[in-house]
């Protein structure tokens, strides 16, 4: 294996994190852009109710995405450790074990989601005037769930091997393809929500297949003894890391789904504005998510290479990157909130939808740095295998937001849903940072 792929344990921490995270940020941005393309194109060319239908579906689809992302975490941490210690036999066994396990899981979830879409949407208080379109979008989405799972696992594997440019190139390709297919199916063929969902499914499927072929080629060029295709011991170790991450990720998205059920009760106009803001929120948080995953791989590789002193230096560098992005978002979201929301709602959007969407973005722009700090700290802990506090802090963050939304939104209005968010982030960061300080002392004593 070439030394150029080992920059996370050889380059200066700031340089290593920038090189590693930028392709990941760009890739995740493209992923958000092509999912956002559904909302923009449908909102513009089909209508506000259609946008609300996709928004109603989005909270549920995020739950399954979070399971895929959490699964990728387990794969990436083990692969990063094996890669850092140059134990390529274990690395290959870990990759195959995770791919087989999550392919099986994704098929089961796909079947469940397809047949119970309507029941879940009803339980979430989805407005009846958008129910049919929301169910259609969900069912097509679930047909492509195995491809989504495989792509996320494969991307995590590439990232853990220092090959983060591969997921980036594939995401650029699939993003452009998805947007083109969206335009053709929705604007030219007038297929509405069905066309947008099919465009996403086809793009994800093609991206997953190409990713798998590239992985086969890369693994073939890494000379090792014959590796097993499935290891129960590695599955157990991967699950020890992945399950808390899946729990943390899915608990957050389930909580956001419950929060959305509060928003749903205010009607489709409020939901349309909230959905537009959530799409932008997902783009804004991409750099923080990339830094979280970067810190996981960075700390895991340096731990595996027994370079513990580099971990704290990398953490400080990650926080500087977060501050830089947060200042940019503070300016952009306050100066251009109306123009950003108008991308989704157009000139015919209702006052209520604009009020919720713009208010969400302007308010949270002052607090995104807290989320960035929390995610960097959580990513570091995850790479060190310290999952307990990381998981508990995420759940407490969510619990506070869900309970506050259910109790206070019916009294004070839908704005409460985003007013309570920064407090939850602060709880998350405080607990993770406390555990980081403890881990730092332990590493110094080791």
Percent of the chain with pLDDT over 90: 20
- Tell which wins on pLDDT, 361 or 29: 361
CA distance 242 to 378: 14
Task: Kindly tell me the burial class for residue 142, based on how many C-beta atoms sit within 10 Å of its own C-beta (0-12, 13-18, 19 or more).
Answer: buried
Helix (H) and strand (E) counts in the chain: 17, 0
CA distance 198 to 418: 32
Single out the residue of 360, 69, 135, 408 nearest to residue 262, CA to CA.
408
Confidence band, pLDDT 50/70/90 cuts, at residue 258: confident
Task: Summarize pLDDT for 33-85 with one digit per residue, the tens.
Answer: 766 777 778 877 887 777 777 777 776 777 777 777 776 766 667 777 777 66
Q: Which two tokens stand for residue 372?
A: 């960035």
* C-alpha atoms less than 13 angstroms from C-alpha of 35 in its C-beta half-sphere: 26
CA distance 179 to 196: 9
Mean pLDDT, rounded, for 406-413: 90
CA distance 374 to 365: 16
CA distance 374 to 368: 10
CA distance 48 to 219: 47
Task: Summarize pLDDT for 367-378 with one digit per residue, the tens.
Answer: 999 999 999 999
Q: What length is written for the chain?
A: 446
Buried b (16+ CB within 10 A) or exposed e, 308-341: bebbbebbebbbebbeebbeebbeebeeebeebb
Backbone angles phi, psi at 202, to 5 degrees: -65, -40
Q: Answer for the pair 55, 274: CB distance below 8 angstroms, yes or no.
A: yes
CA distance 21 to 34: 20
Of the listed ranges 36-40, 356-360, 379-383, the least confidently predicted one is 36-40
Q: Answer for the pair 234, 78: CB distance below 8 angstroms, yes or no.
A: yes
User: Domain map of the chain by residue range?
Assistant: 3-445
Average pLDDT over all residues of the chain: 82
């Amino acid at each position: 294996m070439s030394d150029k792929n080992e920059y996370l344990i050889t380059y200066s921490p700031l340089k290593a994190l920038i090189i590693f995270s930028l392709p990941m940020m760009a890739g995740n941005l493209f992923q958000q852009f092509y999912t956002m393309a559904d909302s923009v194109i449908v909102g513009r060319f089909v209508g506000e109710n259609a946008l609300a239908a996709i928004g109603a579906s989005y909270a549920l689809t995020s739950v399954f995405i979070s399971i895929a992302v959490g699964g990728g975490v387990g794969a990436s941490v083990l692969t990063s450790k094996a890669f850092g210690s140059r134990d390529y036999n274990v690395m290959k066994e870990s990759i195959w074990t995770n791919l087989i396990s999550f392919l099986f899981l994704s098929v089961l979830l796909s079947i469940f989601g397809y047949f119970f879409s309507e029941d879940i949407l009803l339980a979430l208080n989805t407005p009846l005037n958008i129910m049919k379109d929301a169910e259609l979008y969900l069912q097509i989405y679930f047909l492509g769930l195995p491809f989504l799972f495989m792509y996320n696992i494969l991307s995590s594997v590439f990232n853990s091997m220092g090959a983060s440019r591969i997921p980036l190139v594939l995401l650029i390709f699939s993003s452009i393809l998805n947007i083109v297919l969206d335009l053709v199916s929705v604007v030219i063929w007038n297929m509405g929500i069905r066309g947008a969902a099919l465009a996403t499914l086809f793009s994800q499927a093609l991206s997953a297949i190409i990713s798998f072929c590239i992985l086969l080629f890369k693994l073939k060029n890494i000379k090792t003894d014959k590796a097993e295709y499935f290891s129960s011991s590695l599955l157990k170790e991967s699950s020890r890391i992945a399950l808390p991450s899946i729990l943390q990720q899915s608990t957050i998205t389930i909580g956001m789904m419950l929060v959305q059920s509060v928003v749903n009760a205010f009607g489709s106009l409020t939901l349309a504005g909230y959905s537009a803001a959530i799409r932008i929120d997902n783009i804004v948080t991409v750099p923080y998510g990339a830094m979280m995953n970067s810190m996981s791989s960075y700390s895991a590789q340096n731990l595996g290479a027994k370079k513990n002193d580099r971990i704290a230096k990398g953490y400080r560098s990650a926080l500087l990157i977060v501050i830089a992005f947060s200042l940019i978002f503070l300016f952009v979201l306050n100066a251009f909130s109306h123009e950003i929301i108008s991308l989704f709602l157009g000139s015919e959007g209702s006052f209520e939808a604009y009020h919720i969407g713009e208010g969400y973005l302007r308010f949270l722009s002052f607090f995104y740095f807290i989320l960035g700090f929390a995610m960097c700290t959580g990513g570091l802990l995850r790479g060190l295998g310290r999952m307990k506090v990381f998981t508990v802090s995420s759940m407490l963050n969510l619990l506070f937001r869900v309970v506050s939304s259910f109790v206070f939104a019916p009294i004070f209005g839908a704005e409460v849903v985003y007013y309570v968010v920064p407090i939850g982030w602060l709880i998350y960061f405080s607990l993770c940072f406390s555990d980081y300080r403890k881990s730092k002392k332990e590493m110094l004593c080791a």
